[in-house]
Amino acid sequence: MTIWGKFVFLCSAYNIAQGLWLADHLAIRGNPLVDPPCVQRPALPIPAMIVEAALREGIPPHRLLWLAWEESRYTEQPTGANLGPLQINRHSWPQVVRMTTQERIQFGARLYARWHRQTGSWADALRIYRTGH
């Protein structure tokens, strides 16, 4: 699927304004004329970080977006022992305490993808993820 195809699919998964911002971000990323190395880009909004992590790990973006929405409503707000938008349990995975938001999202996506590879089922991977991993 092309970037444009992923973008069109993505727009149906969450807010159009965020989708348009992401398309703009994906279109210019790495272009030296638009994105010189001396200019620091602003942080991605959380849904865009989630989509980027999903694409990197081979997860359909709508699945990871839904998981993050159910876990935290896309916020970084901790709930008990769980941290980040994907609510990773810090007792099970102590390294998440020192991670940035983007690193936590990538870590959660990696876990979800790993459990999908092990079980062969998105439903089973989700069950494992939601039980506190």
State both tokens at 102.
Answer: 């983007």
Give the domain range for residue 9.
Answer: 3-130
The whole-model pTM stands at 0.68
Q: What is the predicted pLDDT for the residue at 6?
A: 53
Helix (H, G, I), strand (E, B) or coil at 84: coil
Q: pLDDT tens per residue, the chain (133 residues)?
A: 555 455 444 544 444 444 444 444 444 444 444 444 444 455 679 999 999 999 999 999 999 999 999 999 998 888 889 999 999 999 999 999 999 999 999 999 999 999 999 999 999 999 999 887 6
CA distance 42 to 10: 21
Residue closest to 50 by CA, chosen among 59, 38, 37: 59
Q: What is the predicted pLDDT for the residue at 79?
A: 87
Residues in CB range of 55: below 8 A, 6 or more apart: 6, 61
Give how many domains the chain has, as a whole number: 1
